[in-house]
Amino acid sequence: MKAVTWQGKRDVRVEEVPDPGIREPDDVIIRVTSSGVCGSDLHLYEVMTPYLNEGDVLGHEAMGVVEEAGPEVTAVSPGDRVVVPFNVSCGHCWMCSQGLHSQCETTQQREHGTGAALFGYTVLYGEVPGGQAEYLRVPFGNALPIKVPEGPSDDRFLFLSDVLPTAWQAVEYAGVPDGGTLLVLGLGPIGEMATRIAQHRGYRVLGVDLVTDRLERAGSHGVEVYDLREHDDDDLVERVREATDGRGPDSVLDAVGMEAHGAPVAKAMQQATGLLPGVLQRKLMETASIDRLHALYLAIELVRRGGTISISGVYGGMADPMPMRVLFDKQIQIRMGQANVLRWVPEIMPLLLDGDPLGTDAFASHRVPLSDAPAAYEKFQKKEDGSFKVVLQP
């Protein structure tokens, strides 16, 4: 089959790889019909290269049609249309029973001290072949695949794999009070979807970014947007406080993560790490890596005293300096973590079956053949040609 494979920093290629097969009696094989390119995939493209091996199949946002099911699978059958959560979770361990599917005890990567395995996402998370491919092996066929109805296009349901539950959890973790204000830092796919979910819940929503089309997209549905290119940090904090009774927003959602703009020293360290041999890269990242923390520091300044910061942007640093005095003094609460996809599906699914209030049908900016993946990655990474959310179609 054809699949998107990682070959090196900023080097992904579509290659022929072996077809997946049934390995466990509860496996299913799906024929992929759509697969998203996530902002997290860009971390693999640029920063997390020490944890990838040449030929790794990428992609953790997939849906398709069941082609084959193992003998113990009863929940889905060949021909069923399914979405695949990005967490590889068993559905029956203690963590899964608590709704913490991203911490699944069956697939935790204890060798690396990390949580549940993820599709298409580094040796740290199991090096499980991903879904930017023609076919995908999905374990735990009675618990993991999400069966969806025929009718609406793939785009209606594809984002159940990651974008929708990640944004939903981020808003949930933000703890916005009734009638309160949420500020979203970063209006990429997760941040943009979070603004829609927050508006659906009746919150006032502010958004910050520095990409014109993203600011325009959020502004078009009523988000009060701030262009980071027009304000230094102090000015932005001042303006947001003026707009929120002098206090700041009740909650701030950091949807940016480790590759934030405005952190030249950390960026230089990330780039220098990428020049080292693979073994040394891993050692340095595991002991001394520092993220670009501009977005997180800005969130700490912006949120009101007694407010909450929700972090959905991915961070990977092991030596990140945190302003503990400010966090303590402002009595800030912080919640974060990989989305527990299956925890939120029952709450999200009714919105997909009753019209399309979150606008998933038109959420993707680009739909391209799988063969165009290398160019799509490059444009997405450079934010060219209005590249906002890319869907690959084998």
Q: 250 vs 269, which has greater pLDDT?
A: 250
How far is residue 24 from each of residues 21, 30, 115, 133, 284, measured CA to CA in Å? Answer: 9, 15, 22, 21, 37
DSSP β-bridge partners for residue 5: 13, 57
pTM exceeds 0.85 for this model: yes
pLDDT value at residue 260:
52
Are 35 and 267 contacting, i.e. CB atoms less than 8 angstroms apart? Answer: no
User: pLDDT by residue (tens digit) across 250-259?
Assistant: 999 999 987 6
Report, in angstroms and rounded to the nearest whole number, the Rg of the chain calculated over CA atoms.
Answer: 20
Are 95 and 101 contacting, i.e. CB atoms less than 8 angstroms apart? Answer: yes
User: pLDDT by residue (tens digit) across 325-360?
Assistant: 999 999 999 999 999 999 999 999 999 998 899 999
User: pLDDT by residue (tens digit) across 363-377?
Assistant: 999 999 999 999 999
User: pLDDT by residue (tens digit) across 290-327?
Assistant: 677 999 999 999 999 999 999 998 887 777 889 999 99
User: pLDDT by residue (tens digit) across 53-66?
Assistant: 999 999 999 999 99
Q: Detail the DSSP E strand segments found in 109-241.
A: 117-118, 135-138, 146-147, 181-185, 204-209, 224-227
Region of residue 225 (left: phi > 0; alpha: psi -120 to 50; beta: else): beta
| Residue 236 reports pLDDT greater than 60 | yes
CA angle 240, 245, 249 (to 5 degrees): 50
User: pLDDT by residue (tens digit) across 74-119?
Assistant: 999 999 999 999 999 999 999 999 999 999 999 999 999 999 999 9
Q: How far apart are CA 344 and CA 119, in angstroms?
A: 19
pLDDT value at residue 40:
86
Domains of the chain and CATH, by start: 2-161+339-393 (3.90.180.10), 164-336 (3.40.50.720)
